[in-house]
Each structure stands twice: as C-alpha cells, then as structure tokens.
Amino acid sequence: MEAKKAEDSLVVMNELVLPNDTNTFGNLMGGRLMYWMDIGAAMAAGKHCNKPCMTASVDNISFKNPIKLGNIVHIEVKLTRAFNTSMEVRIQVWGEDPLHKHKYASNEAYFTFVALDEHNRPSPVPALIPETDEEKEQYKAALRRRQLRLILGGKMSPDDATELKALFVQNAVGQNQQA
C-alpha cells in the first residue's frame, strides 16, 4: 500500500448555527458539534484509506468557548498518523461571528478510526507521511496519545507504553535537576 501525505486527508467543513442546533443558552449544543466533528473525521479517515471506517475512540473534548446562534462553525480535520488498521485524526474547531468579523477557538480533539474489510473486520491502512513541522510534531506525539488511550481502553498494559513512560521519566528528571 502506498503511503499518503497528511495534507491529502484534509477536510474543511463549515456550518451555520441555527435555532435547532442550540441549547437554552442560545449556544451550539455540544452533542451537535461532536456529531459534525465525527462526520468530518470520518471523511478524513476515509480519504486516507479508501475503505469504510468506524469510530473506535474519542479523546477528551474541552469546550473553550461557546459558539453562538447565527455564528459560523469552522471544522478542520487532518490525519496525524496511521498505524496498522487504525488512524488518529485531529479535529480543530473555531467559531466565527460574521457581523463583527471575529474568529475564536472553540475546541480541539483527537478521534481514532479503524478501517474495515468486507467482513467488517479491521483492515490495514496506508502509512501517513507528515511534511510540515506541525505535521511532524503531531505524528510524533500521536504514538504517546495512542498508548494512553489503549491503556485507558484496557487494550494495552502500561508496561508496554515505552514512549509514554519515557515522556514522564524525562520530565521527572528535568524537574529533579531544577530542584
């Protein structure tokens, strides 16, 4: 399978927050936003592997700023890394107030998708080529994020999370040297 560039998975979505999308505060409902994020992430994963994909996990999502009724939702999605049958997808969300020309960060999350074969079993995906400095940084950190979510999902023993453990050991050494 030929490796593919991270840039080739890019998906940009825009939505307008309508009354039916809001909660009682007049802000976009978190559940509606997560629905759009899941759709954007599924499209990016599908562009990369050209196979049906299933959401395997969603990392924590913190809502930094609410998106108001009548504002525009910008969702940008790109793969950070492909593993064997799974892919990590980064989703960034901004709100935009079109009347005051103000764009603000809303949230960011990582979703994991698994490609499936004709029997709905996990199926291998092409490797991902990171090109920009940001893509390379995301690619490197994706391995640690994967180890953390597999530990939390009961799919990996903490003893096997070599890169994740190394991060904590490095930080602990740095702090001891400063003390």
Ligand X SMILES: CC(C)(COP(=O)(O)OP(=O)(O)OC[C@H]1O[C@@H](n2cnc3c(N)ncnc32)[C@H](O)[C@@H]1OP(=O)(O)O)[C@@H](O)C(=O)NCCC(=O)NCCS
Distance CA 34, CA 39 (A): 9
Q: Are 86 and 150 in contact (CB under 8 A)?
A: no
| Cβ within 8 Å of residue 9, ≥6 positions away | 44, 45, 47, 48, 77, 78, 79, 89, 128
CA 35 from centre of chain: 13
Among 85, 107, 138, 147, binds ligand X (CB under 6 A): 85
122 vs 126, beta carbon nearer ligand X:
122
106 vs 112, beta carbon nearer ligand X:
112
Among 112, 128, 138, 164, binds ligand X (CB under 6 A): 112
69 vs 148, beta carbon nearer ligand X:
148
Distance CA 146, CA 72 (A): 31
Q: Using CB under 6 A, count the residues that bind ligand X.
A: 15
143 binds ligand X (CB under 6 A): no
Q: Which of residues 16-55 bind ligand X (CB under 6 A)?
A: 54-55
Instruction: Provide, rounded to whole angstroms, the least separation between the CB of residue 36 and ligand X.
Output: 15
Among 23, 50, 65, 84, binds ligand X (CB under 6 A): 84
147 binds ligand X (CB under 6 A): no
**DSSP string over 46-88:** HHHH-S-EEEEEE------S--BTTPEEEEEEEEEEE-SSEEE
| Of 26-34, 60-68, 77-85, 126-134: span binding ligand X (CB under 6 A) | 77-85
114 binds ligand X (CB under 6 A): yes
**Which residues are near ligand X by CB under 6 A?**
54-57, 83-86, 112, 114, 122, 149-150, 153, 155
